Amino acid sequence: MTWEVLNIIGTIAFAISGAIVAMEEEYDILGVYILGLTTAFGGGAVRNLLIGLPISDLWNQGPLFLIAIGAVTVVFLYPFGALKQWKKWGTFTDAIGLSAFAVQGAFYATTMNHPISAVIMAALLTGSGGGVIRDLLAGRKPILLRGDIYGVWAMLAGLLIGLGFVNHSWGLYVLFVLIVILRMLTVYYKWSLPYRSLKEEGFSRKER
């Protein structure tokens, strides 16, 4: 039950996130559906490759595809005035998708008795894979690869589950909420990972 609930939550959240990004980039209706669906299922496809499952297993999730299509349709038909306000919630829906799929991916890897390294990577790729594909298709820099703390929280979920600190249904739900909160705190307080730039001070791209 926990697996299915997290799957549904993540699918809806990422389908909405992908559709909103597609409309921000002024994609047509086909582009909106493609970006919504690839965001919702891209992370699962990458995870299956990692832990040795056939990607074709995704086609056995017919009800989830219908749920994702329904979510994208609602977003596409939503009144424009209200949608402008809804875009402000894009970060929140993305955080929900990240958390739900990270917890789900890690939990899935543990049920297959994979080592902790695979559990952490399953959490990272399931939680952020769809978002990376979304950003690449939208011509944006993936959030995962920027200084913004994003994938770290997915890896934290994988670490806690892999070490056995969280292994009950209620614990998985608590962890899900915790990762969402940490992600939103990251956005609110603008936390970031350290980085180095090779650009010279005062040297802009236009001067090249």
pLDDT, one tens digit per residue, over 192-207 is 988 888 876 554 444 4
Query: Is the residue at 162 inside a domain?
Result: yes
Query: Is the residue at 91 inside a domain?
Result: yes
Query: Is the residue at 198 inside a domain?
Result: no
Q: Which domain holds residue 135?
A: 2-192
Cα–Cα distance for residue pair 131/114, rounded to 1 Å: 24
Region 161-185 average pLDDT? 93
Contact between 159 and 168 under an 8 Å Cβ cutoff? The reply is no
Query: Is the residue at 201 inside a domain?
Result: no
Query: Residue 44 is encoded by which pair of tokens?
Result: 């699962």
pLDDT of residue 55: 75
Residue 192 pairs in a beta bridge with: 148
How much is the pTM?
A: 0.86
pLDDT digits (tens, 9 = 90+) for 76-119: 998 877 777 766 677 888 899 999 999 989 998 998 999 999 99
Cα–Cα distance for residue pair 40/188, rounded to 1 Å: 25
Query: Residue 188 is encoded by which pair of tokens?
Result: 């609110």
pLDDT of residue 61: 84
Query: Is the residue at 202 inside a domain?
Result: no
Closest CA to 17 of 102, 94, 71, 100: 94
pLDDT of residue 200: 66
**Mean pLDDT score across all residues of the chain:** 88
Half-sphere CA count of 5, side-chain side, radius 13 A: 7
pLDDT digits (tens, 9 = 90+) for 125-157: 999 999 999 999 999 999 888 867 899 999 999
